[in-house]
């Protein structure tokens, strides 16, 4: 009995001594080149309010106020039809309220100086700004007394403002800052809308920032995951690998577009002494995203 007691005492003392030995803290370093964060689009010669600016859907609702007379209502509907027919990636439907695009009218005469007047005004009125896309949540158009043309120049001009286009220096472009009946949209404007709305409306989770320290067989880390896609993302996991062995799988839950998750973990046990730690989003490839090349960060001592 006394021999067993001595043995247990020795084991306990040895374990206590091991615990009190100084542990080397090894700061991990990122071992990869970060991919480009945004898709590349050809923006042509007409300026835009912001790059990667679009609605996150291609079936877009509109509401026309009762203060619009029959002529301006007709011009606006014709402009929406022309836009849809030219782009072929966006279509519109009318609703009674709570629309993506709110259209009003006014008989105000808005002078701009030098015998110029405003025929209308329009643009995005509410935007969600992510590091990937800028999402238009709502646009507004107001039509004043416009130009008397067979082609809805003013209504189209303001509609293009809603979709993010600024003014063009070309007097024949529909985005020139004063209107004339022979102005039309340019091919580069059509090409940009087609390119932007050809991107499928998915989420896009990205590892934005990560830092880590290995303490013997334990890992401390901080990590930030962002959703810079076009819609919310759900059911995505973060898998932590020690070398090639899975250490843990963490459910990130739902991440709304433009939002993220910040995680801080202390004393996660590793399978042993490891040379690298990998953080992988959606390691099993179960969640469809806009991009897959921003889901992995590898760190080494």
Q: Rg for the chain (alpha carbons), in Å?
A: 29
For the domain spanning 22-37+202-300, the CATH number is 2.60.40.10
Question: Residue ranges of the domains in the chain?
Answer: 22-37+202-300, 53-197
Q: What is the mean pLDDT of residues 212-227?
A: 92
In this predicted structure, which of 32-46, 163-177, 189-203, 233-247 has the lowest mean pLDDT? Answer: 32-46
**Which pLDDT belongs to residue 37?**
54
Q: What is the pLDDT of residues 37-64, one digit of tens each?
A: 555 688 888 999 999 999 999 999 999 9
Place of tokens 């709502």: 138
- CA contacts within 13 A on the Cβ side of 205: 30
Residue 298: name the closest of 37, 33, 35 by CA: 33
* Positive/negative CA dihedral, 54, 55, 57, 61: negative
In the block, tokens 């022979």 appear at 182
CATH number, span 53-197 = 3.40.390.10
pLDDT score of 115 more than 80 = no
| 201: its two tokens | 């409306």
Mean pLDDT, to the nearest integer, of 233-239? Answer: 94
Q: Percentage of residues in the chain with pLDDT exceeding 70?
A: 84
Q: How confident is the model at residue 11 (pLDDT cuts 50, 70, 90)?
A: very low
Q: Per-residue DSSP letters for the chain?
A: -HHHHHHHHHHHHHHHHHHHSPPPEEE-EE-SPPPPSS------SS-BSSTTEE-S-SEEEEEE-TTS-HHHHHHHHHHHHHHHHHHSS-EEEE-SSS-SEEEEE----EEEETTEEE-EEEEEEEEEE-SS-EEEEEEEEEE-S----SS-HHHHHHHHHHTTB---S-TTBTTSSS--TT-B--HHHHHHHHHHHTS-----EEEEEEEEEEETTEEEEEEEEEE-SSS-B-S-EEEEEETTEEEEEEE---B-TT-EEEEEEEEEEPSSS-SEEEEEESTT--S--S-STTSEEEEE-
| Chain mean pLDDT for the chain | 86
Chain centre to alpha carbon of residue 89: 19
The 10s digit of each residue's pLDDT in 189-203 is 999 999 999 999 999
Q: What is the rounded distance in angstroms from the CA atom of residue 127 to the CA atom of residue 136?
A: 5
- Cβ atoms of 272 and 217 within 8 Å: the answer is yes
Give residue 146's pLDDT: 64
pTM for the model: 0.83
């Amino acid at each position: 009995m006394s021999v067993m007691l001595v043995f247990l005492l020795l084991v306990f003392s040895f374990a206590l001594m091991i615990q009190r030995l100084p542990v080397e803290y090894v700061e991990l370093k990122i071992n990869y080149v970060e991919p480009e964060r945004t898709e590349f689009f050809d923006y042509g010669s007409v300026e835009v309010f912001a790059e990667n600016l679009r609605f996150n859907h291609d079936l877009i609702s509109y509401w026309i106020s009762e203060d619009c007379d029959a002529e301006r209502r007709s011009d606006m509907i014709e402009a929406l039809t022309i836009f849809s027919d030219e782009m072929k990636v966006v279509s519109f439907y009318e609703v009674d309220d709570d629309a993506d695009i709110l259209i009003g009218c006014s008989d105000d005469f808005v002078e701009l100086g030098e015998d110029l007047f405003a025929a209308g005004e329009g643009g995005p009125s509410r935007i969600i700004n992510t590091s990937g896309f800028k999402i238009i949540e709502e646009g507004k158009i107001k039509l004043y007394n416009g130009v008397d043309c067979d082609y809805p120049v003013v209504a189209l001009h303001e509609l293009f403002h809603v979709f993010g286009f600024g003014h063009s220096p070309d007097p024949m472009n529909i985005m020139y800052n004063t209107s004339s009946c022979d102005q039309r949209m340019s091919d580069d404007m059509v090409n940009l809308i087609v390119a932007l709305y050809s991107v499928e409306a998915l989420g896009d989770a990205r590892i934005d920032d990560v830092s880590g320290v290995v303490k013997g067989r334990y890992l401390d880390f901080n990590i930030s995951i962002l959703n810079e896609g076009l819609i919310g993302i759900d059911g995505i996991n973060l898998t932590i690998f020690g070398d090639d062995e899975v250490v843990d799988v963490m459910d990130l839950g739902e991440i709304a577009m433009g939002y993220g998750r910040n995680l801080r973990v202390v004393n996660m046990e590793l399978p042993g002494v490891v040379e690298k730690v990998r953080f992988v989003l959606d390691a099993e490839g179960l969640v469809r995203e806009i991009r897959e090349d921003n889901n992995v960060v590898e760190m080494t001592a």
